[in-house]
Amino acid sequence: PLPMRRSPQHRRLAQQCFLLCLQLLLPSLLSVFCISSRYLFVTSAFYFIIYRLVAKTSLSSPPWPEVKLPDPVEEAKYHAEVVQKVNEMIATGQYGRLFAVVHFASKQWKVTSEDLIMMDNVLEAECGDRIRMEKVLLVGADDFTLIGRPLLG
């Protein structure tokens, strides 16, 4: 037997021959219509066939697997459970040692309690004075992290 050629012209010719044979065999039960240039749909009373006219390549479909997004209802339920657990930990004081990322003196600093910050700017405070940092970007512990958008309130 001769080797089959797989060019697009030969594939289209083979599909047209197949459809012509089907139309001759089942003229009353078969309707053929083309929705787009990529897919050819053949319907009958008994079956539904989709012929793909374009080969599956990295250009016709992405090489990575399709991403399945989670169900919004389940995601909202899971989010509510996590928020409830974090709020319980904060209310009972079971969070351990906290850390924060703060914006101070035009820089971001990761700080914990009793940390020292050395900076080059002039600050009107004496050594040992407490200062209040109001631009808190992030607060976290061992089990959770709260992220501000852009700041935590």
Q: Which residue has the higher pLDDT, 118 or 44?
A: 118
| Percent of the chain whose predicted confidence (pLDDT) is above 90 | 29
pTM of the model: 0.51
Q: Which residue has the higher pLDDT, 125 or 85?
A: 85
Distance CA 149, CA 84 (A): 20
Distance CA 57, CA 36 (A): 18
Q: What is the identity of the amino acid at 57?
A: T
pLDDT at 135: 93
Convert the pLDDT of each residue in 78-122 to its tens digit.
Answer: 999 999 999 999 899 898 899 999 998 888 999 998 888 887 878
The region of weakest confidence among 44-53, 67-76, 98-107 is 44-53
Per-domain residue ranges of the chain? 8-52, 80-117+131-153
Contact 104, 133 (CB under 8 A): yes
Instruction: Decide if pLDDT at 37 tops 50.
Output: no
Contact 66, 76 (CB under 8 A): no
